[in-house]
């Protein structure tokens, strides 16, 4: 408990909740680090695919980058409409649920959840890659480093939103600044022809430069726009006026993202940088721009922190989405429970575990994770935009034609991108995502139908009447006379109803001894000795209870079990094995109620 307090801080009062709202400056750090940080690997992923067709194909990175820039613009404009229309937040799931129905909503939710997990894994892996580019000796330990970083982020998030904001704002802005300076300096050098251009080793083409390869490269680059939806999910976390502030933050984010991504893509092409196994493209670029000095290391550290912390935006989004789903009955109810730091602890822990598993499975390698990435996000983009299109068509408020056009363009653009991503990545791993979406949707639906069945079963209807009082027979099974047993009998006596102590006669000698002791200690309660032909204490007891239940169909039977409560957990294997068996056997009997009376051992 002390450790927990130290790690996650003191509990907060309910009334403190409004103060947890985020300023635009903090919100940009928390919500946009995901989208912006992807500049650290997006260009590299584009090049990694193109280079398969040889060095000459690299030129395609420029038109592909422009296509992705177009996506950024479309998403920014169309998501601003969602922010204004849904100030309570919720993003793709809520938009789809309101406008398209249950199934699309659940698919969008499942897709988003999977991508949140991937965001954490990819960001952490890429962050560690930034570190190992600068310090090559750490390359062999990237898996361990990734796990350590994940655990660090999980603990930070369990401490709560605002502190996370403060904690994460400084490195986020530092990294944006460092990347900005690099792009600026690099661009100036290029303009004035001072840059050291590489004459790259001509790499052999292993594939032909087909349209499919170009589309695959585009799909890989689409990882740049993941995370752009995060703000629309968290509008409620902004200060008043929420939508206004969220929308402004979204534009800031998109501008930063677009500038850095296009800058890096251009410079990488200009310098003729090719992807390497053990050094990232951004690291190569920084070395060429700054030389391997203090500025270079500052940029690498900044990039690493930005990436590792970008995972944080998923820790804000995932538990939030899970709690909305839980409130709607599609996830276990405890996901909707506030932890005592006013955050959704359960969601944070689950997200953390899955991300760590992914990091282990893919050995902390960004490139291995990328084929799974972005698929889910683009599915949710498409459903959200399509949902908005449907909304405008039905609502037809003022400016509905303009609004319809914006989201229509958004829906078509993201739809096409989704098809490209899904088809080019399918055999490389995206099929796993589709499979997982299917599994999650089935899980959501079965949880929902279970909760529905339960509430039907426990509902009080007009046909129900308040129950009439029933008689209660209290049974205390004993196997000796000691303080624990007497305590149980004493407790049983404090209750109404007929009380019977019951023992099983396994050995006539000890039975006689117990009966004599009972006369002195039994608090006047009747002691019944049951015969036991099969030497089974359990069987005889169960038969006896069964008999009572049959004979009197309208009573409660309370079984009061004297139990030894050990002082140390490991001692429990030495006790109460019979009590456990008895409880298991009686659990499913209607009208039988079990009560443990613990006797607390001191040592």
Which one of 396, 399, 495, 513 is in contact with a copy of itself (CB under 8 A)? 495
1 binds a copy of itself (CB under 8 A): no
Question: 250 with 84: CB under 8 angstroms?
Answer: no
Instruction: Map the footprint of a copy of itself across residues 300-359, applying CB under 8 A.
Output: 332-334, 338, 340
Of the ranges 89-97, 297-305, 386-394, 591-599, which one interacts with a copy of itself (CB under 8 A)? Answer: 591-599
Q: At what angle do helices 294-327 and 345-361 cross, to 10 degrees?
A: 130
Which of 497, 543, 548, 552 is in the footprint of a copy of itself by CB under 8 A? 497
Interface with a copy of itself (CB under 8 A), residue from 178, 179, 389, 597: 597
Q: For 277-291, give one letter per residue: b (16+ CB within 10 A) or e.
A: eebbbbbbbbbbbbe
Instruction: Build a one-symbol-per-residue string for 504-523: x at contacts with a copy of itself by CB under 8 A, - elsewhere.
Output: -------------x--xxxx
In this structure, are residues 87 and 242 in contact, taking their beta carbons and an 8 Å threshold?
yes
CB 52 within 8 A of CB 207: yes
277 lies in the binding site for a copy of itself (CB under 8 A): no
- Binding positions for a copy of itself, 25-84, rule CB under 8 A: none
Q: Please, which of residues 406-425 interact with a copy of itself by CB under 8 A?
A: none
- 536 makes contact with a copy of itself (CB under 8 A): yes
Query: How many CB atoms are located within 10 Å of the residue 259 CB?
Result: 17
- Least Cβ distance, residue 597 to a copy of itself (angstroms): 6
Is 493 near a copy of itself (CB under 8 A)? yes
Nearer to a copy of itself, 28 or 514 (CB): 514
Q: Is 397 in the site for a copy of itself (CB under 8 A)?
A: no
What is the distance between the alpha carbons of residues 96 and 94, in angstroms, rounded to a whole number?
A: 5
Residue 161 contacts a copy of itself per CB under 8 A: no
Beta carbons of 129 and 303 less than 8 angstroms apart: no
Among 470, 513, 546, 584, binds a copy of itself (CB under 8 A): 470
Under the binding rule (CB under 8 A), the answer on residue 483 touching a copy of itself is: yes
Told to check if 534 binds a copy of itself by CB under 8 A, we report yes
Our finding on whether 481 is near a copy of itself (CB under 8 A) is: yes
Collapsing DSSP to helix, strand or coil, 340 comes out as coil
Largest distance between two CA atoms of the chain: 107
Q: How many residues bind a copy of itself (CB under 8 A)?
A: 75
Phi and psi at 477, nearest 5°, equal -75, 130
Residue 602 is a binding residue for a copy of itself (CB under 8 A): yes
Query: Quick one: 95 or 592, whose CB is closer to a copy of itself?
Result: 592
Q: At closest approach, how far in Å is the CB of 454 from a copy of itself?
A: 6
- Give the position of tokens 């946009």: 32
Report d(CA 19, CA 25) in Å as an integer. Answer: 15
460 in contact with a copy of itself (CB under 8 A): yes
Distance CA 260, CA 262 (A): 6
Q: Which of residues 138 and 585 has its CB atom nearest to a copy of itself in the complex?
A: 585
Task: Enter the tokens of residue 225.
Answer: 């726009």
CB 318 within 8 A of CB 297: no
Residue whose C-alpha is closest to residue 57's, from 202, 190, 199, 220: 202
Q: Is 467 in the site for a copy of itself (CB under 8 A)?
A: yes
Least distance in angstroms from the C-beta of 327 to a copy of itself: 13
Cβ proximity to a copy of itself: between 211 and 458 the closer is 458
Residue that the structure tokens 């994460």 belong to: 168
Q: Give the whole-angstrom CA distance, residue 214 versus residue 220.
A: 10
Give min distance, CB of 496 to a copy of itself, in A. Answer: 4
Closest to 314 in 3D by CA, of 253, 226, 412: 226
Among 398, 466, 508, 553, binds a copy of itself (CB under 8 A): 466
Is residue 464 a contact point for a copy of itself (CB under 8 A)?
yes
Instruction: Find the binding residues for a copy of itself in span 6-25 (CB under 8 A).
Output: 11-15
Q: Which residues are CB-neighbours of 402 under 8 A, at least 6 positions away? A: none
515: which 2 tokens? 């009966």
- The interface with a copy of itself within residues 559-588 (CB under 8 A) comprises 564-565, 571, 573-575, 577-578, 587-588
Whole-angstrom Cα distance, residue 359 to residue 18?
A: 36
Q: Per CB under 8 A, which of residues 426..455 are in contact with a copy of itself?
A: 447, 450-451, 453-455
Phi first, then psi, for residue 564 (nearest 5°) are -85, 120
Pairwise CA distance, residues 333 & 314, whole Å: 21
Shortest separation between residue 413's beta carbon and a copy of itself, angstroms? 39
Q: Does 598 bind a copy of itself (CB under 8 A)?
A: yes
């Amino acid at each position: 408990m002390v450790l927990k307090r130290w790690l996650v801080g003191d509990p907060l009062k309910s009334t403190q909740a409004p103060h947890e709202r985020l300023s635009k400056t903090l919100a940009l750090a928390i919500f946009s680090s995901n989208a912006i940080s992807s500049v650290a690997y997006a260009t590299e992923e584009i090049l990694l695919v193109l280079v398969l067709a040889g060095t000459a194909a690299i030129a395609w990175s420029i038109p592909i980058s422009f296509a992705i820039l177009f996506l950024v613009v479309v998403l920014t404009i169309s998501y601003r409409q969602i922010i204004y229309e849904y100030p309570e937040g919720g993003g793709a799931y809520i938009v789809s649920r309101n406008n398209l129905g249950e199934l699309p909503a659940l698919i969008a939710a499942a897709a988003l959840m999977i991508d949140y997990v991937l965001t954490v894994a990819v960001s952490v892996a890429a962050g560690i890659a930034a570190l190992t580019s600068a310090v090559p000796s750490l390359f062999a330990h990237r898996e361990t480093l990734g796990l350590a970083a994940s655990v660090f982020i999980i603990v930070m998030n369990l401490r709560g939103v605002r502190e996370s904001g403060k904690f994460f704002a400084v490195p986020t802005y530092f990294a944006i600044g460092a990347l900005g300076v690099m792009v600026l300096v690099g661009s100036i050098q290029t303009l004035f022809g001072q840059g050291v251009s590489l004459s790259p080793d001509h790499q052999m083409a292993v594939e032909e430069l087909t349209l499919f390869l170009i589309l695959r490269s585009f799909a890989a680059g689409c990882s740049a726009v993941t995370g752009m939806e995060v703000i629309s999910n968290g509008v409620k976390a902004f200060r008043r006026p929420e939508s206004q502030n969220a929308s402004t933050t979204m534009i800031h984010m998109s501008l930063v993202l677009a500038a850095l991504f296009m800058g890096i893509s251009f410079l990488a092409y200009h310098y003729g940088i090719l992807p390497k196994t053990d050094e990232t493209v951004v690291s190569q670029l920084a070395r060429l721009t700054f030389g391997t000095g203090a500025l270079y290391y500052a940029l690498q550290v900044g990039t690493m922190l930005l990436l590792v912390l970008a995972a944080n935006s998923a820790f804000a989004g995932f538990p939030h989405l899970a709690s909305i789903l839980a409130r709607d009955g599609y996830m276990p109810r405890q996901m909707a429970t506030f932890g005592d730091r006013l955050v959704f602890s359960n969601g944070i822990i689950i997200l953390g575990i899955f991300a760590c598993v992914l990091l282990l499975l893919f050995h902390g390698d960004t490139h291995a994770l990328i084929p799974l990435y972005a698929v889910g996000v683009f599915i949710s983009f498409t459903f959200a935009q399509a949902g908005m299109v449907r909304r405008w068509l039905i609502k037809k408020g003022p400016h509905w034609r303009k609004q319809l056009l914006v989201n229509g363009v958004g829906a078509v653009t993201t739809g096409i991108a989704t098809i490209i991503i899904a088809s080019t990545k399918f055999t490389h791993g995206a099929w796993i995502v589709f499979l997982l979406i299917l599994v999650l949707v089935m899980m959501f639906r079965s949880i929902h139908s279970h909760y529905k069945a339960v509430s039907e079963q426990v509902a009080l209807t007009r046909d129900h009447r308040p129950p009439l009082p029933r008689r209660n027979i209290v049974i205390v099974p004993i196997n000796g006379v000691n303080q624990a047993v007497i305590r149980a009998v004493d407790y049983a006596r404090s209750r109404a109803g007929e009380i019977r102590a019951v023992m099983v006669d396994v050995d006539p000698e000890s039975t006689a001894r117990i009966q004599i002791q009972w006369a002195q200690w039994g608090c006047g309660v009747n002691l019944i000795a049951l015969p036991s032909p099969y030497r089974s204490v359990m069987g005889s007891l169960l038969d006896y209870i069964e008999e009572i239940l049959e004979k009197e169909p309208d009573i409660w039977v309370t079984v009061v079990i004297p139990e030894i409560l050990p002082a140390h957990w490991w001692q429990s294997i030495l006790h109460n094995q019979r009590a456990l068996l008895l409880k298991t056997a009686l659990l499913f009997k209607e009208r039988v109620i079990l009560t443990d009376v613990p006797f607390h051992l001191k040592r």
